[in-house]
């Protein structure tokens, strides 16, 4: 399982880095460089979902233990959250890429489920 997750995260990173978030032609702003690139931040967020870590508070500690070999440097929780808020369109592109990797993506019939949208009315 670990090598499959590593391969998936690596492939996602390469796709995002090459096609969704190419390196900017502009020089970087002053100051310290970010701990994670935009592609790395998106991959880290996808890993959080795939590893089913619902607790935002503990995710970066869990990430260090579970996939720290892929991310030798991790930001603080505040920096990570700030970076992810800016990456909405890239998160959508990553989700679409992952969905298209599933063999049933091209099937004419898809079964979809969703959580309930609200509490059932009381009668």
How does pLDDT run across 13-30, given as a tens digit for each residue?
A: 998 888 887 666 556 678
Domain ranges in the chain are: 2-25+34-103
Contact 83, 38 (CB under 8 A): yes
User: What is the Cα–Cα distance from 70 to 64, expressed in whole angstroms?
Assistant: 9
Instruction: Pick the closest to residue 47 from 29, 24, 70 (CA basis).
Output: 70
pLDDT digits (tens, 9 = 90+) for 32-84: 878 888 889 999 998 998 899 988 888 999 999 999 999 889 999 999 988 88
pLDDT at 6 over 90: yes
Q: Kindly provide the b/e burial profile for residues 4-35, where b requires at least 16 CB atoms within 10 angstroms of the residue's own CB.
A: eeeebbeebbebbbeebbeeeeeeeeeeeeee
pLDDT of residue 99: 84
3-state secondary structure labels for all residues of 4-23: HHHHHHHHHHHHHHHHHCCC
Residue 23 in tokens: 């390196």
pLDDT of residue 17: 87
pLDDT at 10 over 90: yes
Q: How confident is the model at residue 122 (pLDDT cuts 50, 70, 90)?
A: low
pLDDT of residue 28: 67
């Amino acid at each position: 399982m670990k090598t499959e997750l590593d391969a998936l995260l690596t492939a996602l990173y390469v796709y995002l880095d090459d096609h969704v978030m190419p390196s900017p032609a502009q020089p970087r702003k002053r100051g310290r460089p970010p701990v994670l690139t935009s592609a790395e931040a998106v991959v880290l967020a996808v890993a959080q979902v795939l590893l089913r870590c619902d607790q935002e508070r503990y995710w970066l500690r869990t990430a260090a233990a579970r996939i720290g070999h892929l991310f030798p440097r991790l930001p603080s929780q505040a920096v990570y959250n700030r970076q992810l808020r800016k990456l909405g369109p890239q998160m959508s592109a990553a989700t679409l890429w992952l969905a298209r990797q599933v063999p049933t993506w091209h099937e004419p019939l898809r079964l979809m489920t969703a959580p309930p949208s609200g509490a059932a009315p009381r009668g």
